[in-house]
Amino acid sequence: MSADPQRTLRSLLVSERSSFLEEKNRLSAQAQEHHLNYKVSVLLPECSSAPSHLDAALKSFSSFYLIRKLPLYELLDKQFLETAVYQGSVYGLSYRSRIDQENCVALTPNGRLSHSVSVCLSAGRLSLSLDKDSYELLGVEGKPSRFNHRTTSRFVVSVDLTDSSMAPGGRGYQRLLTGLTSHVQLQSDFLLSHHPGGGAALQSLLSRYDWSEHSPEVSSRSLTHLSCPTLLTSDLQSCDPHSFLEWLGAVDTDIGCENSSSSFLSSLVCPEPTVTASRSLSVSVCGLLLPQDVHRLIQELRCYLEQPRLAPWVALTVHGFTDSPVSWGNSEHGVLTGGENFYTLLLFHDHTYRLHLATGAPHTCPP
């Protein structure tokens, strides 16, 4: 790690302002493109408990599965492709694999229809981040990782499962299958979820391995006398986005922003001008979280803001997995510094919103 703090803290931040009433707003597409989410945090100023409809949305995120010691060639199993990948959206990620040290794999929707599989809705893409030895043994075309240091030690392989050559029996399919079964037998604990079929669509794969089903964990904290930025509209010219996101992150992680002279733990402060919320609610959901469930939560937050409230805004932050091979869409993700990839959505009572998308500096700019 560099000894220069300024180099380790560099990041990309894209901010935009729009309205849900604007037909050309891109929010839904941007949220859908962030495939692999592990945490959603919501801050509700001037709120002591979430109303029933919002509480139900926070507790209704889809369950996911942990499959232990899954051979990766199983992701090419014909029955799995036909019942899960071709019939909806599959989200999968190797579990507890460090992308800067180990082989990591992700299975995500690719966002377009297949010409070779007529029943395909969004099909899938297999993304592999491999060390040099594994890549050379696999024998499939890829490219050097953008996150190599002085030498080329990592490679990425991106496979469009809707391509005609990747249909079972096709030339590309057979080459990849042979590589994973004979040349380099990769296996990993694997997180897996499916929309809209859930466990039923995954049953053929689950039945052959040791697996467990998990529901996302929901936790909440009540906050009193919270100093908040005065955010009356989505026109946040008076509030620096970096300062606001630092403050929001401090609230989420329960770090004080008083910056008192007796404290040496934090120098964070709430951006001015400020207002004190007598009571606030911070809620987080953790797990393998589907973009569809995040989108439903956003719609419920809009309904929440339509009711008379003391605070005219709410904030939602969606964090991606640090060790995911991809971040937005098919963009390569890696860890040279912090591995961050997240977006924060500020919703206002007038249906406007402010969106901040952030990732590490070496990454492709978020959409």
Ranking 173-177, 194-198, 338-342 by mean pLDDT, the lowest is 338-342
Which band of pLDDT confidence, cut at 50, 70 and 90, is reported for residue 8?
Answer: very low
Query: What DSSP character marks residue 73?
Result: G
Phi, psi of 77 (to 5 degrees): -60, 130
Ranking 49-63, 126-140, 234-248, 308-322 by mean pLDDT, the lowest is 234-248
Q: Is residue 313 scored above 80 in pLDDT?
A: yes
In order of 65, 221, 350, the CA distances from 197 in angstroms are 13, 33, 36
Q: Is residue 3 scored above 80 in pLDDT?
A: no
Identify the residue whose tokens are 């500096």: 361
Which band of pLDDT confidence, cut at 50, 70 and 90, is reported for residue 199?
Answer: confident
Which band of pLDDT confidence, cut at 50, 70 and 90, is reported for residue 45?
Answer: very high
Identify the residue whose tokens are 């009540």: 222
Query: What DSSP character marks residue 28?
Result: H
Q: Is residue 265 scored above 60 in pLDDT?
A: no
3-class secondary structure, 56: helix
Q: What is the pLDDT of residue 275?
A: 85
d(CA 259, CA 96) in angstroms, rounded, equals 36
Q: What is the pLDDT of residue 188?
A: 95
Token pair for 7: 């180099």
In order of 23, 170, 242, 292, 363, the CA distances from 341 in angstroms are 27, 35, 15, 18, 9
Q: Is 351 left (phi over 0), alpha (psi -120 to 50) or beta?
A: left
**DSSP string for 82-134:** HHTGGGSEEEEEETT--TTTS-EEEEE--SS--SS-TT-SS--EEEEEEEHHH
Which band of pLDDT confidence, cut at 50, 70 and 90, is reported for residue 2?
Answer: very low
Q: How many CB atoms lie within 10 A of CB 88?
A: 19
Q: Is residue 351 scored above 60 in pLDDT?
A: yes
Which band of pLDDT confidence, cut at 50, 70 and 90, is reported for residue 276?
Answer: confident
Token pair for 366: 């978020």
Which band of pLDDT confidence, cut at 50, 70 and 90, is reported for residue 233?
Answer: low
Q: What is the pLDDT of residue 311?
A: 79
Q: Is residue 336 scored above 70 in pLDDT?
A: no
Q: What is the largest CA-CA distance in the chain?
A: 69
Q: What is the pLDDT of residue 256?
A: 72
Which band of pLDDT confidence, cut at 50, 70 and 90, is reported for residue 113?
Answer: very low
Which band of pLDDT confidence, cut at 50, 70 and 90, is reported for residue 120?
Answer: very low
Which band of pLDDT confidence, cut at 50, 70 and 90, is reported for residue 263?
Answer: low
Is the whole model's pTM more than 0.85, yes or no?
yes
Token pair for 309: 């409230």
Residue 365 burial by CB count (10 A; 0-12/13-18/19+): exposed, middle or buried? exposed
Q: What is the pLDDT of residue 327?
A: 87
Helix ranges restricted to H, 189-333: 199-206, 241-252, 291-306
Q: Is residue 112 scored above 90 in pLDDT?
A: no
In order of 13, 24, 62, 165, the CA distances from 33 in angstroms are 17, 16, 18, 25
Q: What is the pLDDT of residue 117?
A: 35
Q: What is the pLDDT of residue 361?
A: 64
Ranking 5-14, 241-250, 330-339 by mean pLDDT, the lowest is 5-14
Q: Is residue 301 scored above 50 in pLDDT?
A: yes
Compute the average pLDDT of residues 277-300. 96
Sheet of 64-71: strands edge to edge?
143-144, 154-160, 125-131, 104-108, 89-94, 187-195, 64-71, 211-214
Which band of pLDDT confidence, cut at 50, 70 and 90, is reported for residue 237?
Answer: low
Q: What percent of the chain has pLDDT over 90?
A: 59
Q: What percent of the chain has pLDDT over 70?
A: 86
Ranking 9-18, 140-149, 258-267 by mean pLDDT, the lowest is 258-267
Tens digits of per-residue pLDDT, 64-96? 999 999 999 999 999 999 999 988 899 999 999
